[in-house]
Structure 1
Amino acid sequence: MNRRYIPVVAGVLLFILGLLAGSQYFGAEMSGARQTIKNLAAERAAMAEQLAEVTRLRVARDVDKKALQHLQESVTELNARLAEQRKELMLYRNLLKTGGMEDGLHIVDASIVPFPEASAARYSFVIRQKADLLKTVAIQYTAELKGLLDGAPVVYSLADLDAQVEKMPVKTKLKYFTVVEGRLELPPKFVAQSLQISTWSENKPAQRRELILNWPRDEDEKNAQS
């Protein structure tokens, strides 16, 4: 082989190996998530059988109430863990679907779920990276909640409303994706309108991604405003 082509061939091989390594990583993550789900399902089934047995015994004899309560709490916890694992597996599958996306950071799976008391809400979103060869990058993100207070426009940052966020922007690192979630405590008489999320790489601050998420309204509010 002509020596001039050796660096080119080597570069192509490294590129292919990088893609294979990435796919193997996700394959291992997916396999591990599936196995975790199977393990949790088996554990939950075993705990449910124990709970049923203790319940049956409690009818026949006076079994310790604390033991029964402990088993009931364990089954509830296992159900929650199983649901989280299923959600994580679904997230991995969705993140593998990158068709049509341009390279760089993306904000996906954003949601706001107001609590019944209307003075708080749960928010969540995912920041993900798409590139041919993924590397760990330092990123920053902000989130601002816009709305009306006594009829006047007002803007609150995530640090103003989420006790777990100390300041904006938030700095973190990611290679594939990071999940951001928390609880917003809304001020009295504040009418939320939208949540604006922004993210950028520290190396490329000009390449900013933004997403505006409208505040969800129930049917009564929609009818009153129409």
Structure 2
Amino acid sequence: MNDGADYAETHQVLVLNNLRSRVVIQAEGQIRTGFDVVVAAILGADEIGMSTAPLIAMGCTMMRKCHLNTCSVGIATQDPELRKKFAGKPEYVINYLFMLAEEVREHMANLGITRYQDLIGRTDLLKTSENINNPKAKFLNLELILKNALHMRPGVNITAGSKIQDFQLEKRLDNTLLEKSLPVLNGEKKWVDIDLVINNECRAFASTLSYYISR
């Protein structure tokens, strides 16, 4: 998710339905500093996804023409002449991530938090800025975003992944589809007729078959 309101609302809804322990929420989009990471966690994010900032650390100059195969720093291109210009090293990204982690640690220390998990959903640690230059921003009401989900339904487990789930993958209709498709996959036949009843529980029907075909 790439918007603070998105993962704040998602966190709240999952807590209200006692499903938070089954879901991992990942925040991404414009996350570049340790402060951004801490705010995302406070709003309910378990994980952080980053792309732009590590790219810049690697040498990207944000020319916005990745799709044209003309990246002048040799990152988003397959042109051998342009790729010669790439001067990035893994150490640059590693160094950036170490500094990011250190900033996160400093913010957590200032808040009196020792574990990242203890940050998640702690919206009481956030408040709106009082120094607002944009007059329109003064009309924003962030009360619902900053509402603590555990106050809405106390006692719910919000540790993502702590509840073991049985997805009953052995009962998927994909298994039957794959079994009936084996003659084609093995090259014994060119086609087969398959008659199956598909209902709304078959959320990703045929995805496993696609995997076997591509493999």
Q: TM-score, normalised by structure 2?
A: 0.21
Q: Larger RCO: Structure 1 or Structure 2 (Cα < 8 Å, ≥ 6 residues apart)?
A: 2
More strand by share: 1
Q: TM-score, normalised by structure 1?
A: 0.21
